Chains A and B, each alone.
Chain A
């Protein structure tokens, strides 16, 4: 009776999981030690090998804080050290040189008076405009004057005064410096990340002065400080190069990037529809900065042209033509237009063009988020198109005669 019962169970087990032969057999004693050890070894080896491989593939170099830039100057905020150069590399990019001229600007020319018969654009902005992680000659700051000159038939130069962490309130405080370059036009390329509220001067980046062990220990301390275990594990993982490796491939998917981006809705405040309190505060602060900048530009009789450059998630939403409920990639664009035009500035809009521009969504470092060489080239093309389409009369292709 017992035997027949066992056989019946065995045949049933085969139908539900193929475990029949194993049901009654005893596990050898050594396996109680061996199997957990094997599991632990597998996990450690796999995790270690993945991190090691990721670090070999996605290397990074950053001597910026020591050689090129001052981040926490109370007078100017972040600034380039005059006549300095350094090598930087984001894990997803190539080794790139950052070179600053005698005025501390990353631009292909010395600071000084503009040559005769030249239309000078001074560009303001933060890390996008600086061309972070991208060789200077491939940034939109470098490509745009060439494209504008080609389109208008005139000699147009662009002096790039952009600097990382150059948020609107800092630009407003130092706008005089831009006017000293005697521009015919100031072009301010804004990104959603620039619109910080009360961020002040960023803390200096000092982690690289620490040894590997100290850095690791610091990371663990920060990760576990007042957080849940899950959040802490997540924080540690986020800092690993394995996360960079996975993110690099995972975030190439537009739909996945959107999903991941909106996971923390507060971080994508600029996409919120309807806007929330944080949105209103940032827009209010931006309005104040724009008022100061526009007044100085008006006093100097220099046209102020502003454009919102979409970040990765905005680009994905616009190019896909669909986005989750509660979000809208055009919301910030509209708000900026209202603010800029209300202060007498000119606002140019490149977002609608992105819907018809193939592959801009691939123009960003997938994990890091800044535009790469392809992104810069597309931005240069879109900016040139909009600047010469009539929004800026002096650069309008149909009004060539008006160019000074």
Chain B
């Protein structure tokens, strides 16, 4: 079963219906556990491939058990064991090849399980009683099928609050309607918009190496770089829409993972809006503790503002590195870390030069915001080359046209992103300004029903189109 496929949605809906048969938390938890096991079974049919994942979970649970028993240094040992096991199972390429397991095994969702297990260990190590959980709750939390594959990264306290509540959260027709709308929207994003944008990107990549005029190639480079962030957003946020809605139908609220990321006017702001649960996790468990430690050791008021810059760099470097196991992702991390660090330095520099008040005024200037938004988008688009391509492809892409042409392309992307994203924000603001007593017309239930029905029809038609083979010319009317 493909994630975000129609089968996945139907599976989730069936689980939600069964889960709502009883309000009993035992029933709801049993249903979720059974569904998660079935989901794993649908992803891989050979039980042996789950053994390494089971071992990883066991290492994590062993760490929790040691902490609960108060063994000395158990939090550090547990965390280290989990990190090393993760790096080994993910086959990070800086490790020697011969130490890896060479039979195929299941790693889908391991990266997200890793964060959930680490979160439990860190919180338990900090003395949180809430994290002293039984094996059933541990497995339910780590293997929850709605968050298994691509998050969002939910904290255990949030999970247990809804999952183990005596009286589950309300689920009326309005909420159901909103979730159905969200599922349709998510499905459209992944299976229609995402596929179309991916096709545009693939075509642009091919065109770069074809015997075409330079201007055509530059347009291909423009599309290649400019379309991928939208594809990634459609694909990832669409999936998140689906799982958040499915979980809500099961009376569990998952945290939001996206908040209109391309509206961000700076790279720092961008990471507050993109993959929110990941950046919040890393800010909580890397940025804050690191900054605290450094500030304790370095008390110079002149240096202290730059400690934040350093901590931002480390945090977002790790964000990048976590995404993959090859050297490309190290560069991806450097570019993410570098982006936020330079952004922070820029803010510090401007505040120092202009003064806090003047900087605030500048930062709220629509033109400054517009160009900042365009630059943020362009930088993110640039960094993504190290996300989707390998070194060979990166080399081919950047040598397909000359340095001057690439510079022109990036300037064009910046300008187009600035104008189009500003136009989008303006249209959105105008559309939301039409209001009735119940709120904006655009978000009332009648508009939503029209919008969802139209989107549903468009999705159905496009899915039919994308899933049928091209017509055979011989048997046509002629």
Contacts and interface: CB of A to CB of B under 8 A. Distances in A.
Contacts of B445: 31, 35
A22 B461 CA distance: 31
Interface in B379-412: none
B154 to A, nearest CB: 10
B478 to A, nearest CB: 6
A47 B453 CA distance: 11
Interface string A177-214: 00000000000000001001000000001010000000
Nearest to B476: A368
Contact of B465 (A46, A205, A246, A253): A246
A367 B471 contact: yes
Interface in A353-372: 356-359, 367-370
Given A27-B173, A42-B454, A233-B464, A17 B471 contact: no
B62 interface: no
Interface in B107-144: none
A253 B465 CA distance: 14
B206 A237 contact: no
Chain B interface: which size bin? Answer: 35 or more
A42 B450 contact: yes
Interface in A24-52: 24-27, 31, 34-35, 38-40, 42-43, 46-47
Most chain B Cβ neighbours within 10 Å, of A205, A262, A358:
A358
B470 interface: yes
Interface majority SS (helix, strand, loop, mixed), chain A: helix
A311 B470 CA distance: 12
A267 interface: yes
Interface residues of A, number: 71
Interface in B169-213: 169-170, 172-175, 177-179, 182, 195-196, 198-200, 202-203, 206, 209-212
A358 B210 contact: yes
A12 interface: yes
Interface in A316-339: 319-322
A16 B255 contact: yes
Contacts of B244: 16-17
B174 A260 contact: no
Interface string A2-24: 00000001001101110100111
Contact of B468 (A35, A196, A260): A260
A234 interface: yes
A358 B212 contact: yes
A243 interface: yes
B477 A207 contact: yes
A87 to B, nearest CB: 13
A237 B253 contact: no
Contacts of B457: 42-43, 46-47
A234 B248 CA distance: 32
Contacts of A35: 177, 445-446, 449
Contacts of B454: 42-43, 46
Contact of A42 (B195, B196, B255, B453): B453
A267 B472 contact: yes
Contact of B200 (A242, A253, A267): A253
B178 A22 contact: yes
B144 to A, nearest CB: 15
Contacts of B472: 193, 267, 369
B210 A260 contact: no
Contacts of B196: 250, 253, 256
16 contacts: A15-B253, A17-B244, A27-B173, A35-B177, A39-B452, A42-B449, A132-B478, A193-B474, A238-B471, A247-B465, A255-B206, A256-B199, A263-B468, A267-B469, A359-B212, A368-B476
Q: Closest 10 interchain pairs by CB?
A: A255-B202, A369-B473, A264-B469, A42-B453, A16-B253, A263-B469, A39-B453, A253-B199, A256-B199, A22-B174
Interface of A: 9, 12-13, 15-17, 19, 22-27, 31, 34-35, 38-40, 42-43, 46-47, 62, 64, 88, 127, 132, 164-165, 193, 196, 205, 207, 233-234, 237-238, 242-243, 246-247, 250-251, 253-257, 259-264, 267, 311-313, 319-322, 356-359, 367-370
